[in-house]
Structure formats: structure tokens, C-alpha cells
Structure 1
């Protein structure tokens, strides 16, 4: 069933995202096509109710950041650096499913 959705995260990132520099704690920085948002977003909670996330967020394809961890940093190219404060894994079984990260400005 995951074959139906394979590649969709890349399509979404290309359409709605931009290049972000990802700086893992234990590796070299690299540029990744992904989606950074400074404005609040609304997501669906586990029980289906809407939840507003007021913090800046970063959506990135799981297969591009297998080492993703709290306190890693990103530079979306807007003059600010952010650290990953909370990571919300996707419920999707697709290898390239989007992961949502809540950010804190450094």
C-alpha cells in the first residue's frame, strides 16, 4: 500500500518548500529541500481535533534525515538558526513520509 504514496513527500516539498540547511549534532551540514514555516500552523490531533502549533515548524521527508534528533539545528536562510525541540513522527508507513518538527530559535 505504501507504493501509492511513494514520492509524495518530495512533490509536496518541491511545491511548498525551499532549501534548508540541516545541521545534525553528529554530522556535516547539508542542504535539504523541505518546508519551513515561521507562522502558526494547524494540524490534526490524534483524536481528530485541530491543534494549533504556534512555534516555527519544519516538515522534512523521513528518508532525507534518518539521523534526525532533538537539538539538531536548521538554517532556513532567513538570518535565524533554529533547534529541533519536538519531533512528531508521521503515521504514514511510506519511507519518505513527512516528519513535523517544532522549532526554537537559537
Structure 2
């Protein structure tokens, strides 16, 4: 069944993505094609109710993001820096699956 989805991640990342600099925790910066978004998203609150918040995310090929663990840095080219907070499930079985990372804005150039 994965054959149906193979190749889609590469197409989506290429069409919707832009150059983004990522720095794995303890690693060297590199440029990848990924889609940075900073928009409203529903998240579960501690009380169990969903709340709308602004959540920055990075979506790209899982193979490009595989070494970005919490604490890694993302610089999408907007003059701001973001720290990886965790992976968000996408459910794709494809060999070139997309992955989505939750981010948090940080000030590392002060």
C-alpha cells in the first residue's frame, strides 16, 4: 500500500518548501527544502479542552528532519530562530514521508 504514496513527499516538499537552515543538537547547520508555517492550530490544554494557539511548525521530508531532536535549531529565513520541541505524527507510510516538527521561538542571536 505504501507504493501509492511513494514520491508524494518529495513533490510536496519541492513545491511548498523553501530553503530553511536547520542545526541538529550538537551538529552543524545545513540547508534543506521544507515548509515553515506559523499559524493557528488547535492543541489540547491541561484541562482536556482544545485551545487555539499560534504554533510554528516545520514540514519536510522525514529523511531531512530525522536528526532534529528537541533542542535543534530551525532558521526559516524570516530573521527569527526556533527550537524544535518535538515531532508531530503525520501517519504517512511512504518511503519519502513528510514529517512535521513543533517549534518554539527563541532568541539565539542576542
TM-score, normalisation: structure 2: 0.78
Q: 1:23-72 deviations in whole A, cap 9, x for unaligned?
A: 00132111110110122257xxxxxxxx8562111111111122221111
Matches of 1:11 and 1:86 in 2, distance apart? Answer: 24
Aligned Cα root-mean-square deviation (Å): 2.2
Which residue does the alignment assign to 2:9? Answer: 9
Count, aligned residues: 100
**Contact map agreement 2:17 2:60 (CA 8 A) in 1:** no
**Bigger strand share:** 2
User: What residue ranges of structure 1 are gaps of 5+ in the alignment?
Assistant: 43-50
Q: Distance in 1 between matches of 2:41 and 2:5?
A: 23
User: Which ranges in structure 2 are unaligned for 5 or more consecutive residues?
Assistant: 43-50
Answer yes or no: is the 8 Å Cα contact 2:25–2:68 preserved in 1: no
